[in-house]
Structure 1
Amino acid sequence: MNELIVQDEQSLNELIKRVRAAQAKFATYTQEQVDKIFLAAATAADKARLDLAEMAVSETGMGIVEDKVIKNHYAAEYIYNAYRDVKTCDVVETDDSFGVEVLAEPVGVVAAIVPTTNPTSTAIFKALLALKTRNGLIFSPHPRAKNCTIAAARTVLDAAVKAGAPEGIIGWIDVPSVALSAAVMSGSDLILATGGPGMVRAAYSSGKPAVGVGAGNTPVIIDSSADIKLAASSVLHSKSFDNGMICASEQSVIVMSDVYDAFKKEIAYRGAYFLNAEEIDKVRGTILINGSVNAKIVGQSAPAIARLCGFEAPESARILVGEVESVEISEPFAHEKLSPVLAMYKAESFDDALKKAEKLVADGGFGHTSVIYANEHTAKDKIAAFGDLMKTCRILVNTPAAQGGIGDIYNFKLRPSLTLGCGSWGGNSVSENVSVKHLLNYKTVAKRRENMLWFRAPEKVYFKKGCMPVALQELKDMGKKRVFIVTDEFLFKSGFSKRVSDRLNEMGIVNTTFSDVQPDPTLASAKKGAAAMRSFEPDTIVALGGGSALDAGKIMWMLYEHPEVDFADMAMRFMDIRKRVYRFPEMGKKAYFVAIATTAGTGSEVTPFAVITDETSGLKYPIADYELLPKMAICDPELMMSIPKGLTANSGYDAMVHALEAVASVMSSDFANGMAKEAIKLIFEYLPVAYKNGSDETARAEMAYAATMAGMAFANAFLGVCHSMAHKLGSYHHLPHGMANALLLNEVMRFNAAEAPAKMGTFPQYDHPVCLRRYAEVAELVGIKGKTDEEKFEKLLDKLADLRKEVGLPESIKAAGVPEDKFLEQLDKMSRDAFDDQCTGANPRYPMIAEIKQMYLNAYYGKEGK
């Protein structure tokens, strides 16, 4: 390729075209090809480290050759070692179980701004990063360091091309200027900027993505617990390195008063020259020009700076130290100095030291680096306080700042880099040491995967007529001593709850009964019960009754074990119970929870659900979390022989809706469906019998089992919008929950059965609308025949309507006695609240509020929407 001399905008545009063409070819290279090139380039740079160091000092007049050799060596060796095995091509990460592939691609052409302070090591560093990531690179050198920067770039380029890289993959501006620097930034795809604040600001304002770094003004605290020899040696080692030109190097030390003299003596012994008052004033007047560091002192030796200031310092002086007091911006010593000039402050307390360090960072070093020397074992609190207070992205402990900040020398988890991000504090886009990841675009290929499902039930579920006394024997076998019984007023006054308390008394287990649970239990009632529990201190809670008593018992259990919980937090909605914002605390540490059902409907004895009423608003809130799942469930049909007809109908139909919504749910599974479908079959067969003849033992038993199976089904598949609407219909118009569900079921099923709904439920297992087929399968299960799924579905709706009539439930909300004016007045708010109910999320068809409103209207007037 012909040599191109870039000295104006036309030649620069030609260079950009060449590099872009080379990069397009380079982007097709394999990881093996790239790694071969990366090795060759690093090797060549490493071999040229001394020559390049000599060129840099000769051209810029800054720094120390021997130290620049270390920088060049570091830029080649440490960067190669850090990224030699890192994948940067094509697929870099795979997780087949989650269906994810991450692919890395180059960003394109990178504009590299190189400072005069580190002209060759920065060039090596940026060139190697670009080659490892298959990017093209164009250098914009500092005018005072252009020859050595270009020499470093050429060294890397020649080795890379010889190893197979496209010719022209790295380029540079031969005659640098502010205009050409701006042009290369605007013509690139990404800017990698290292330089003064003005240059970095220009990069960020260029209109192109930029990775730039901010100014450093590193403060160092020397705590009373510090190893003084280590601290003094480290500070001197860092501050004198390459005459203080690394931006992370120490600018001020803040020494605790009780170790001040010892530190001063130690650092002076090792080569620090302490300025007298007159010399401090002379240096103070030389450090800055117009508020910025004087270029004449940058990278110069301590004796040279002294001569520039008009006095002599020993040739052995490695750094100049000014003992000053002010940390205000008006004090020149409080600034970044990019030279072996160090400010030293005395702190009367650790808080004083922290305040001084915080001020120094705020006035010139936001986001960069800060250091503390302290005993890691005895001064943990001080180190933690320092880390909390410092707004710097590198907080170094017992580490020389210059060599420690660049990483991988004194801490092997800090990425090696010669471009140190300062985060938003320093006006930067990155807050870490810049690495290969900042020069890559990552594409994530996310393949569809189904969520893990589950089937969770109480540890023990006992069933069969007469099982309760036998099941309760478990409590004695478990060594339980004190049982708190939660029930409702009717079961207590009728003596029904004595079946439990008598059995406990027989076993010698102390017990007490709380019976102040009303239908639609309130939070106030639950709090009252929890207070009684705290007085009694039970190791077991037995909730006996229908859904109200069982739900109230669960909330009391929660408040007893964790009185700190907030009801509003527990009632928070979730999309996925595993990812909910609020995490329920672990239950069962104080008390073992036993649920005994006395009605065949709610299934609360086997579910993680509890419906509680906010007494201030009157609204019902379904609370769900597996921490609320009872530890033991007892389903004894003998306890259900005296259920009145109305309760039999309402609770039985509630169980039917549980089962049908579990089948339709987006989280439906074979495990839940097995329970749900068996429950549906039993309810169709035995609910009419139990309703008409409450003493029929078979019917009562089968309904008890059906309700519990339906409960286990929806405990794992969850419910749908029928329950959402029923919760609000019941709370707004005081209808029994089972009745509210019965009045809405057919309308919701017709809504869900749409083959092309406006919106589908969101869950990976539910990949297309299948509700019609699911309902048809239910129809087939209960003996319905038809030529099409539509015909079977319509016959299933008719069968459900017939069941509703057979057990004496009304045909419409209006027929249930809800006044039309009151219903219409509250319809909009009720529809909105139903949409926001916890159960809505698992519905197979995602409802709009207007659609919920229309379903309410259809159900009110008894006209199913079609």
Structure 2
Amino acid sequence: MAAIRIAPSRAVRALNLLRAVGTHGPGCPCHSNPGHHHNPLSISQGRRALATPIDYSQQKEYAFEMAASSIRFGPGCTKEVGMDFKNMGAKKVMIVTDGTVLHLTAMKQVQEGLDREGIKYEIYSKCRVEPKDHSIKEAIAFAKPYAPDAFLAVGGGSVIDTAKLMNLYTSFPEADFLDFVNAPLGKGLPIQGKLKPLVAVPTTAGTGSETTGTAIFDLVSKKAKTGIAHRNLKPTLGICDPLNTRTMPSAVHASSGLDVLCHSLESWTAIPYHERVPRPRNPIERPAYQGANPISDIFSLQALRDTVKYLPRAVKDPDDHEAQSKMLLAATLAGVGFGNAGVHLCHGMSYPVSGQNPGYKHNGYAVDHPIIPHGVSVAVTAPAVFKFTGASNPERHLAAAECFGVDISQVKKESAGEVLSEALSKFLVDLGDQPRGLKDLGFGLGDVDQLVEGTMPQARVLMLAPSLDMQNVDEERAQLRQLFEDAMEY
């Protein structure tokens, strides 16, 4: 990024400020809105103008919101969870985990903590890695009869996301499953009330789900991933204990870390919040994913720097506890960043890649079914994606490339996307044991049309993608088709 220059005088500073306001900002919500009652044009048009309804579908956003879970970070802080639930007044806790984490120290510590405080609990341990709609429904059906007054998720993003949806549908037991699912695959209804307390204890360093109001799963009938996103879905507290990530195999360190990498890159390069359309008619309709904003930028860029520095170390040395701890913090930072700014093409394209898996099973994952880990599915398209988006904001793409150690002092703006793409490709190759394109996952050019059709419904994230033409469906399809072809190998 270019250095900020200090103007030599107040006059110059004032002039620069006026220029910035006039050319870069979203505009004052009053004076940029012809229907606002303070606008002179509106006043001159009298009552008729005041009565004319605003077409919010054509109004750009003018505000952003920052929402994130409370976070506690530190080695050993898992043991405090029993006291947390006692402080909340919880009496019946539903612990949510999976068959692997069930036998790890993290689970032992949370059970001991609840036992010490005399809090009753039930354990659901059948969460599926990369959950599907049917595994989510099974978990919800388990929770409803128990009627917990709080939830505790112990595991990776799949576990935490499952717990979020168990919480949602036990809080709104009469809701149809598709009521809250992101449109157009679901109805996309806002969550109108608060849910029960949810404490999330991540055992992986990747999804950032402990900070966000997003839960992702496969909608099997559509062969695509989707999810539910709303601020009310976010955990009450995320307990980020670096000791809990020491049990991750190297392959899980790598794939979860690649999710952090793409979270930070996508939220850093997403369209600015004030360019997003439509403006919500009511604040409750403002989406969790809003576009890049000045606060999310801070979290996203720091997470990117830390991931580039520490992920290779965490993958290569299982005893590098400093690197593991830094990656857990980076995952949380990226979660705050993308949980408010949003992600775009890497994630939008990853959902059909995972949902249409031709049979690939990633090395190092102890599961009995084919699996493309989420981090792998997002990273495999990243070199193609950021080459494509580079022209939208060369400065940001070059700033990202600089995080990978690229000397950008002599790089031309028109080369920004290509330079970042090359830096990403080198990083992925050097990380080791990663598929070098969709071909390595078993996809071919004959699969591209189906992958495109699986991406098209992901409007929630695609609308934040720079350079993608969503005003012209045929052009959008053509751009996505070219991106998938470019992502076949790098």
Same fold (TM over 0.5): yes
Q: Does 1:504 align with 2:132?
A: no
Per-residue deviation, residues 507-535 of structure 1 (Å, max 9, x unmatched)? 21111110111112122222222232222
Distance in structure 2 (CA, Å) of the matches to 1:793 and 1:487: 40
For 2:119, the aligned partner's letter is I
Give the one of 799, 803, 806 matched to 2:430: 806
Per-residue deviation, residues 595-639 of structure 1 (Å, max 9, x unmatched)? 111111111111111112224444321321112111111111110
Contact 2:131 2:158 in 1 (8 A): yes
1:674 Cα deviation from its structure 2 partner: 0.4
For 1:627, the aligned partner's letter is N
Q: Does 1:634 align with 2:258?
A: no
Q: Does 1:693 align with 2:317?
A: yes
Partner of 2:42: 102
Q: Does 1:859 align with 2:470?
A: no
1:650 Cα deviation from its structure 2 partner: 0.7
1:775 Cα deviation from its structure 2 partner: 1.2
Contact 1:522 1:613 in 2 (8 A): yes
Per-residue deviation, residues 45-98 of structure 1 (Å, max 9, x unmatched)? xxxxxxxxxxxxxxxxxxxxxxxxxxxxxxxxxxxxxxxxxxxxxxx97534xx
Q: Does 1:675 align with 2:288?
A: no
How many residue pairs match? The answer is 412
**What's the secondary structure of 2:123's corresponding residue?**
strand
Partner of 2:148: 538
For 1:587, the aligned partner's letter is K
Per-residue deviation, residues 244-264 of structure 1 (Å, max 9, x unmatched)? xxxxxxxxxxxxxxxxxxxxx
Partner of 1:514: 124
Change (3 A) 1:530 1:670: same
Distance in structure 2 (CA, Å) of the matches to 1:626 and 1:731: 26
Contact 1:602 1:711 in 2 (8 A): yes
Instruction: Find the structure with the greater CA-based Rg.
Output: 1
For 1:779, the aligned partner's letter is A
> Equivalent residues in 2 for 1:694-733 (5 A)?
694-733=318-357
For 2:342, the aligned partner's letter is F
Partner of 2:252: 647
For 1:853, the aligned partner's letter is R
| Gapped regions of structure 1 (runs ≥ 5) | 1-91, 106-132, 134-435, 575-579, 755-768
Q: Does 1:779 align with 2:392?
A: no
Partner of 1:815: 440
Change (3 A) 1:813 1:571: same
1:792 Cα deviation from its structure 2 partner: 5.7
For 1:832, the aligned partner's letter is E
Partner of 2:182: 572
> Equivalent residues in 2 for 1:185-584 (5 A)?
450-458=61-69, 460-494=70-104, 496-573=106-183, 582-584=189-191
Distance in structure 2 (CA, Å) of the matches to 1:457 and 1:541: 18
Distance in structure 1 (CA, Å) of the matches to 2:440 and 2:258: 17
Contact 1:785 1:792 in 2 (8 A): no
Give the one of 818, 829, 834 matched to 2:455: 834
Which structure dedicates a bigger proportion of its chain to strand? 1
1:782 Cα deviation from its structure 2 partner: 4.9
Contact 1:101 1:444 in 2 (8 A): no
Distance in structure 2 (CA, Å) of the matches to 1:715 and 1:443: 32
Distance in structure 2 (CA, Å) of the matches to 1:856 and 1:542: 39
Q: Higher relative contact order at CA 8 Å, sep ≥6: structure 1 or structure 2?
A: 2
**What's the secondary structure of 1:680's corresponding residue?**
helix
**What's the secondary structure of 2:426's corresponding residue?**
helix
Q: What is the TM-score normalised by the length of structure 2?
A: 0.78
Contact 2:105 2:244 in 1 (8 A): no
Per-residue deviation, residues 252-279 of structure 1 (Å, max 9, x unmatched)? xxxxxxxxxxxxxxxxxxxxxxxxxxxx
Partner of 1:587: 194
Distance in structure 2 (CA, Å) of the matches to 1:469 and 1:839: 37
Contact 1:812 1:861 in 2 (8 A): yes
Distance in structure 2 (CA, Å) of the matches to 1:449 and 1:602: 30
**What's the secondary structure of 1:677's corresponding residue?**
helix
Partner of 1:608: 213
Change (3 A) 1:753 1:619: same
Change (3 A) 1:567 1:534: closer
Q: What is the TM-score normalised by the length of structure 1?
A: 0.45
Contact 2:310 2:327 in 1 (8 A): yes
Q: Does 1:845 align with 2:470?
A: no
Distance in structure 2 (CA, Å) of the matches to 1:619 and 1:854: 19
Distance in structure 1 (CA, Å) of the matches to 2:457 and 2:87: 45
Change (3 A) 1:441 1:599: closer
Give the one of 356, 374, 388 matched to 1:751: 388
Partner of 1:185: none
